[in-house]
Structures are given as C-alpha cells and as structure tokens.
Structure 1
Amino acid sequence: MASTGIGGCFFTNWSFEMARKKVGGHPTGDLVAATVSAAFPGTLVVNQSEVCSLWAGYGSIYRVRLSSGVSAIVKHITPPHDSSSISNVRKVRSYEVEGYFYANLTGDVAAIPRLPRPYSIVSADNSFCFVLEDLSVEFPKMFHSLGGPTLRAALTWLAQFHATFWNCDDGGVADDGGYWYLATRQDEYDALGGEDLSVKLRAHAAWIDQKTRDPRYETLLHGDAKSANMLWRDETTCAWVDFQYVGRGLGAKDVAYLLCSSGNRSEVANKADDLLRWYFGEFESAMMLAGHDSRGYTFDQFQGHFDWCLLDYVRFMAGWGFWGNYEWAIQRTKSLLTELQC
C-alpha cells in the first residue's frame, strides 16, 4: 500500500480521483483496526468508546486509547451502498473532501488555526476512516451558546482560517463550501411554503445565490461553523473539528452561519454589526501576518456579502426548518428584502 507522510503522519495516496482507493488486504469491517495500526505501528487499542454517531447513520466517531498511552479520535464513515440520492452523493463527496483536506492541506499545521492533526487517512470500498488527534486532551470544554469572549474567539478562529486559505484554488476541495447552497438543496427549495417570506425567497433564490459568489474575495470555508464543532481550552482559546464541508466561498458565509447557529441570541440581535467589525478586524490582521493581498477588500464589501449570505441561509432554513437565532435572522432578512425592493 503506497503512502505519503506529512509531519510523521500516514496517508494513503489521496487525491480527487483516488478518494476511494482500497486498503490492500483489509475488508471494510477491519478498516478501523487497519487504520489505527497504520498510524501507530506496534501499538494496541486497549479501549474504544463511541463519542457520537454521524448524521443520518453514516458511521460513528470513536475515542481509542492505545497501549502507548496516546488517545486518538477515529472517524469511521460507512455510507449506504445502495443509495444514489442527491443527499447521499453530497454526503459521500463531503467525506472525500474532508479526507483530502486533512491529507493535503494541513501539512504546515503551525500556520493554521488549531485543528486536529491527522495521523492516518484511508478509504476502502465505500468506507472512510480518519485517525485524528484527540483535541479534548488540550481543549476539554464545550460551550453551546457563544457570547462575549467565546463568540469573539470563534470569529477570530474563522478570520485566521479564512486568511490562511485566502484565494485557495486547490481542486481537491469542494467548489462550494457548506451544505446549503442552492444547487444541492432542491428538495428544500421545493418545500418553500406560500407565506410571504418563502414566496420572496423562492422568487429570488437564483439571484441571491449568484450574489453569494465573488472569486476575487473567496477563501476556503469551514462549511459547518457551529458551536458543536468547537472545543475550548478556556473562554478565549478554541480549536475546531469536522471539516467535511470545506470548500471555496466567501468567508461571510461561515460568519452568517455561525451567528445564526450558535451566537447568543441577545448579543447577536443587539450587536451584530459590532461582531462583524470584530471579525473583519481580525481578518485584516491575519491577512497582514500571512502576507496575502486582500485585493482591496473593504468592510463595506464584506458586510454586503454577509447580508447576501444570510439571505441564502434563511432561504435554506425556510425549506428545511428554522433553528438557532431564527427570529433575528428572519427579521434581518425581511428588512434586507424590503431594502432590495423584493
């Protein structure tokens, strides 16, 4: 089995075309053991516990403790073999992207905001298995509603991530970061109801989608920027996990999703513009440190992008179901549609 190493890590030769490369000699049922063995030769798994199951029954995440004393996270993905639905294609592609991201874009870990170090990334048949650093050792806390220092720290992480991957054109990641863009959410579009907000969002969905794109100012998105994907050392220091929806897009898309999904309701409702300015200031600082050319990107442009991305996300929620800071999101969406004379 051919392999490559980044910082002492083990990977199969992972590329867009080879994302389903088989692990020689190992049936899918043994994929977890094979992947852990590849990552830590000569060690034994002394304990394995399930942390959580993946969305829609696509596998599980485990914590394994090894005879060497190391604790690692194993993400074992087992998609259904008999589904050709748009939803299944999207999910399988997202795991291919996640494996590619870990194997190819996290080599210089020190230059990237804190995320799990990959130890082993393999695939076999229709399954995937990632062995990753257990960040809970260093970041043992979780916060579900983010406000004050935690919300600003989360925005800082996003700003640094977006600056790190500014104008990234790597072909192995998704063309569209996130999971709610219009082309992949036709069922939710068709489910939009007859109330005034849904009617307007349906009528202008393609226009809104177009306005969420501007290649001059795109970066890589985390794609699922919610508090459930963050671990904390303290209220000012976080690490992020779950990179299956990494892809190109405007950083404002991650910011809109974060505020909608995980921001303290009162703080987002009363200080949204202050939070946007915080993010953009952190982004500008990170861009300077990275030596990247922002192509004259201004706060006003970013704020405009944020509003379009918010409209797009509310369009998705209107067909899928509202959650999080939906009252603020709906109110701002209605105001924006009025300003746009929609």
Structure 2
Amino acid sequence: MNTEDFIIDRLSCETVQRLETVQTLWSDYGDIVRYKLTGTSCPATVIAKSISPPSVSSHPRGWNTLQSHNRKLRSYEVEANWYRDWASQCPHGAPVPECFGILDSKPADLSSRRETDNTMILLLCDLDAAGFMVRKNSLTIAQSKVCISWLAHFHAKFMQDAPSSEWPQGLWSVGTYWHLATRGDEFDAMADSRLKRAAEQIDRVLNSCRFKTLVHGDAKVANFCFSPDGDRVAAVDFQYVGGGCGMKDLVYFIGSCLTEEQCCQHFEELLDHYFLTLESALHELNSAIKFENIEFEWRPLFQVAWADFQRFILGWSPEHKKNNQFSRQITNLAIESLSIHQSPDI
C-alpha cells in the first residue's frame, strides 16, 4: 500500500495531496513528508514518516556496515512500538505527536521490494498545525531550559525504581543511539586511550543505576519543535527511546545546542534546573519514588554520561567540534570519579 492510500484508509479523507518533503531520513532510509487532506472529519495536514531502506546502504561518514544497517532497522521498529504502546502516556509537560496509524509491510525478502513500496509508514499529526511550528539550530540558556523542562517531565512520567529486565517492553533495553553495545564499529576505530580502556566500566555504571526512566535517546535541539512564544516544546524522533539514566539525555541535549563557552559557564545552572523541574514533575504525578534518592544517584552520573558520549564521538568522528576542551575535562573528571588510574592522555 502506498502512502496516499494508507492516509485515506486511516483518516477517511476525500483527497490527499503531497505538499513538501520535510526531510530525508539518515543515510537515505526514507523521508518525512507533509500531506494536505480534505474531508469533513480529518485534519487539514498530516506528517508521514516513510521508512524504505535502500538496496545499497550509504553513510555520510562511511559507517555503512551490517551492524549499522541492522541498528537502523531495529530503531524504526522501536519507534513504531513507541507510538503504538507508549506515546499516549506522555504528560502535558512533555508533548509528542499523536499517531494516527502505523503501516508495517516488510516483505520477507527486502530484495523483492518494489521501489514504490514502503517498509513502514508512521502517520503522525502535524506539529506545525498543533502550534509547534518553530525550529532552532542553537539556543539561549533560557530557551535551553524549556527543552530541559520537557526532558524532566518526560523522565518523571516514566521513572522506575529498579525495574525488571523485561522493562521497557518493545523499546531499547538501553536507550540512546550511542549505546556501547550497538557501537562496536566506532569503538574499534578509537585510538587507545584512558577513555577507551574505561568505556566498559562507564557503560556498566550507567546501566546499573537503581533508578531508570525512558530516555529519548536522541534529544538534540533539531528534535524539538517550539511554540511561537518559545514557552513550550514538543519532541520528535523516537528511534532510540529506551531505558536508562536521565543524565544521558541531558548531556547530549546540552552539547547539541550550546557553544563550548556556554557549556562551561552554564552546565551547573542547567543541571540544577533539570533537578528542580524533575522534583516538581514527580510531585505533580504523586510519584511514590523519592526525588532525593534519584538526585543522589543521578547527579554524580552527569560527568559519567558525558564521558560515555565522548567515547562515541572519539570513535565516530574525532575531529568533530564536540570533541572540545570542555568535553575532555568533564571526561577526565568522570574517569577520576570512577577511580580509574591509567595513562594521562584521552
């Protein structure tokens, strides 16, 4: 079934018109398209995220391995599960797109797929029409706090005290796209360093924390959509949502939207804002989990989570601007906090 037929089938609209491609998916695995609809009981516009893996994969930085391909396919399955089973639970303080339907039509043999076929379609509400039409590439500290508040409300809603190994069902057992177990290619590419030798311990410390929540997994500024006044945001792109420590979302977000100087000057202020909002959000939810215990465990993991992402950067793209002096300093502090005493270089 093509996208237009699927939209008509799900929303009972009279006509469907392709308006624009919002963006193509990473490594040409599909696209995100806005459609205009007509009808008495359907929205005026919708967004279709269509996943259609290429017969020959490519990657802008050369990471087109089988492991990379399988990770991407799994990520789209996770995103479908997220919208099907989890997204409706999000609180008012952490809005996400409404999902109108999911078409999963993977053929047993991808080589038999026609070019016009989609492997999967996620039919979502148009956040522009819902009042979140502003996109940003960089943020002020005040704007950053709006997104951090979204993260805190999101984390509060899905907070768990020592969850079972089966949680969260259908999602990544360990969220974030840079999770060590899924990034063997990049890890192998790293030069020998204290950080590489500490990577497994860093990963183990983060994964063994008592308090876990759902982490967005790709909480960069590009995945937040702002209201015109900038007071509210909604988040998109849940391919890497899964269990974990909320500090992983926070460090990745801060690094995605602030300069090195801003990070250095304001990270403690932003960390404090996160925990203040998390405490308030847990109170609003009447959570039985004590905030003080979460903060006691998670606050020291901020540096550890930063080092975890720095490990990915040094394997994936060591020349990236995120490999800066501030990140190296935070990483050194994390290694020292774990009592790892090895050679002084990172």
With the length of structure 2 as denominator, give the TM-score of the two structures.
0.84
Separation of aligned partners in 2, 1:225 and 1:70: 28
Q: Is the 8 A contact 2:247 2:302 kept in 1?
A: yes
Separation of aligned partners in 2, 1:110 and 1:301: 24
Q: Is the 8 A contact 1:190 1:319 kept in 2?
A: yes
Separation of aligned partners in 2, 1:223 and 1:299: 20
Q: Give CA deviations for 1:17-64 in whole Å, capped at 9, x if unaligned.
A: xxxxxxxxx3xxx2x123212321132113331111000110000011
What are the ranges of 5 or more consecutive residues in structure 2 without an aligned counterpart? 58-64, 108-118
The amino acid that maps onto 1:337 is I
CA 1:271–1:107: 2 relative to 1, 3 Å = closer
SS of match in other structure, 1:212: helix
Superposed counterparts of 1:91-240, under 5 Å: 91-108=72-89, 111=92, 113-125=94-106, 127-137=119-129, 138-167=131-160, 169-194=167-192, 199-233=193-227, 234-240=229-235
Separation of aligned partners in 1, 2:14 and 2:85: 26
Separation of aligned partners in 2, 1:61 and 1:314: 30
Q: Is the 8 A contact 1:152 1:278 kept in 2?
A: yes
The alpha carbon displacement at 1:94 in A equals 0.7
CA 1:43–1:214: 2 relative to 1, 3 Å = farther
Separation of aligned partners in 1, 2:140 and 2:239: 26
With the length of structure 1 as denominator, give the TM-score of the two structures.
0.84
Q: Point out the more displaced range, 286-295 or 123-132.
A: 286-295
Equivalenced residues, count: 309
Q: Give CA deviations for 1:159-203 in whole Å, capped at 9, x if unaligned.
A: 000011112733111101111111111111111124xxxx11111
The alpha carbon displacement at 1:109 in A equals 5.3
SS of match in other structure, 1:204: helix
The amino acid that maps onto 2:125 is E
Q: 2:312 aligns with which of 310, 316, 327?
A: 316
The alpha carbon displacement at 1:237 in A equals 1.3
The amino acid that maps onto 2:6 is T
Q: Is the 8 A contact 1:147 1:264 kept in 2?
A: no
Q: Which residue of structure 2 aligns with residue 75 of structure 1?
A: 49
Separation of aligned partners in 2, 1:88 and 1:300: 38
Q: Point out the more displaced range, 38-47 or 227-236.
A: 38-47
Q: Is the 8 A contact 1:139 1:231 kept in 2?
A: yes
CA 1:335–1:107: 2 relative to 1, 3 Å = closer
Identity of aligned residues (%): 31
SS of match in other structure, 1:205: helix
Q: Give CA deviations for 1:291-330 in whole Å, capped at 9, x if unaligned.
A: 2233552434222111111111101100111545432212
The alpha carbon displacement at 1:135 in A equals 0.5
SS of match in other structure, 2:171: coil
The alpha carbon displacement at 1:144 in A equals 1.3
Q: Which residue of structure 2 aligns with residue 333 of structure 1?
A: 331
SS of match in other structure, 1:63: strand
The alpha carbon displacement at 1:98 in A equals 0.5
Q: Is the 8 A contact 1:119 1:131 kept in 2?
A: yes
The alpha carbon displacement at 1:263 in A equals 2.5
The amino acid that maps onto 1:291 is N
CA 1:261–1:109: 2 relative to 1, 3 Å = closer
Separation of aligned partners in 2, 1:37 and 1:324: 45
Q: Is the 8 A contact 1:252 1:309 kept in 2?
A: yes
The amino acid that maps onto 1:301 is E
Separation of aligned partners in 2, 1:329 and 1:110: 32
CA 1:311–1:59: 2 relative to 1, 3 Å = same
The alpha carbon displacement at 1:282 in A equals 0.5
Q: 1:47 aligns with which of 10, 18, 23?
A: 18
CA 1:308–1:241: 2 relative to 1, 3 Å = same
Q: Is the 8 A contact 2:100 2:125 kept in 1?
A: yes
Separation of aligned partners in 2, 1:300 and 1:104: 31
Separation of aligned partners in 1, 2:180 and 2:91: 35
